[in-house]
Amino acid sequence: MNSKKQHSCIILCGGQSRRMGQDKGSMIIQDKPMINHILSTLNNEINEVIIVLNNKDRIDKYKNFIKKEDYNFKITFAEDEIKNIGPMSGILTGLKHITSDYALILPCDSPYVTEKLIENIFNELDSDHQAIVPYHDSKNKLKTSEPLHSVYNKNIIPEIEKLISDDILHIKGLIEKIDAKFILIDNKKLLKKEFRNLNRPSDV
């Protein structure tokens, strides 16, 4: 583990996967579960991973094929604190478990993320912002942002809890409330293909 990089990653695996028709994180892609591709990419880039799932049965399932000794960071499995409200709960749960100040959020269905992407996003951190949020189009940063491939400071936990209590559950609503630094997905430092999700069987 590189002690100089005190950063965390939260991988969200609590979705229903209705469009895919099966659990996405455990789907076999090129001879191994999809989430394992992401975990391999995280080696040397972060200190810990929080894998957030929506129930204990899925946690037990993932523990069977994720071997902690294969990775040079700490792995923690966490159960969604609040059920069936989407990724807002996963982010909240994950941020409550990290030991560093910042965490990169990744969905379990993004196997094209690279080490360079992770490094470049974390390099944008500064003391003035609570989040680093990639976006596609300068004409509408928020609308074209990638909030589930972003870095967040754990000091936003109270804001998330307030939004949930007000039944505001979309992540872009959170970004509007915090000090976010937007960075362009320019196909140089950040490549568009790295943000691709596998949502349907035809995407695989």
Residues in binding site for Mg(2+): 109
Distance (Å, whole) CA 198 – CA 196: 7
The per-residue DSSP string of 68-98 comes to GGGSSSEEEEEE-SSSSS-HHHHHHHHHHH-
Distance (Å, whole) CA 116 – CA 144: 21
Other Cβ atoms within 10 Å of 194 Cβ, number:
20
Assign residue 169 a region (left: φ > 0; alpha: ψ between -120 and 50; beta: otherwise): alpha
Q: Please, are residues 106 and 38 in contact by the beta-carbon 8 Å criterion?
A: yes
Residues in the annotated binding site = 12-14, 24, 109
Residues in the annotated binding site for GTP = 12-14, 24, 109
Place of tokens 């994950």: 94
In eight-state DSSP terms, residue 145 is B
